[in-house]
Structure 1
Amino acid sequence: MKKLLLISLITLTTSSFSQNDKAHPFFTGSLSTTFGINQQYKINEEGNGPFIVPKSILLRTGFGYQFNKRWASSINVGYDHHFSYAINSIPAFASLRYNFIRNSSDAYFIETSYGQMFRLSKKFSNGNYYKVGFGMLSISNNRWNGLLRLDFHRKKIAGFKNGNLDSVSIGFGFSFN
């Protein structure tokens, strides 16, 4: 993790002196959730809630640098709460994003992240955090840009089922240049 952070900071520092007018720092934030099947749901019965229910809340914020039209990197921190398992955690991670399609109003990207997950209780241990996903960044003429994303998360937790907590999340957010 320290090596990844050091490489990101060196790249960020050296790229900030390049002569590319598209390069700029940014601030980002997002709110995501995972969904699952309601275990109490019964067909043709009332009062047992919807069939699909939210299973977690994932909040993220970070600072990054857009190197050119295609590549960006960021350092992020978040808060995760998984309702079913009563797991609260704080992931801290670095991300690398590649815009595979970019036009004047939208950028479609793939993003990968790696970092550490810190627990807020003694129920489970700290662990590694991995994420890969894709999404769409709506590019506007002002400094605020909308963000939609679909991500796969893996949290390595010793003592948890098979040592992993895997989830797929849907989220929205913003980027401020």
Structure 2
Amino acid sequence: MSATPLARKAGLTVHVVSSVGWLGAVLMYLGLGLTAVTSDDVALLSAVYLAMDAASWTVLVPLALASLVTGITQSLVSSWGLWRHYWVIVKLALTGIATAVLLLYTQTLAVFADVAGRDALGAAELSLLRGSSVVLHSGGALLLLLITTALAMYKPAGLTRRGQRYRHEAGLARLAQSAGSTT
């Protein structure tokens, strides 16, 4: 597959914006999670979980899906290819894993929001909310997203077998083309 240079740049822009947005949203979740586990203010604790639940489906999930879909699309229309370089495969796998974990974790966030939305919170509910796994999940997501960002920036060397075959075939095609133009 190929695309015009303008279409590739537009697609890359959407990919970068959605990925950076996702990273920013995860940082926000990490900050809210830290607030939740350290706050003694019950109203603030409840507000944090209600906000996180609402933002999970309106911000986090759309950005994660956009990052995943635009990343796949970019690899298919660029010279990097989807299966030619190990860094692209690792980046795709990490993005897919992070998206899947996020989709599963939204169920946990819904439970926390349900508990946080109750009129009166008992000691067990407060303990559940203060000891939540939001910080762990946000921290893990942040780490994965930073790794995918580093992979995209540094593009470590390493061709897959498919990439080696593609490079070899492209070299042969260039040789045949240059041999045909000199005759």
Q: Higher strand share goes to which structure?
A: 1
Which structure has the larger Rg over C-alpha atoms? 2
The alignment's TM-score, normalised by the length of structure 1, stands at 0.24
Q: Which has the higher helix share?
A: 2
Q: TM-score, normalised by structure 2?
A: 0.23
Taking CA–CA contacts closer than 8 Å with sequence separation of 6 or more, which of the two structures ends up with the larger relative contact order? Answer: 2
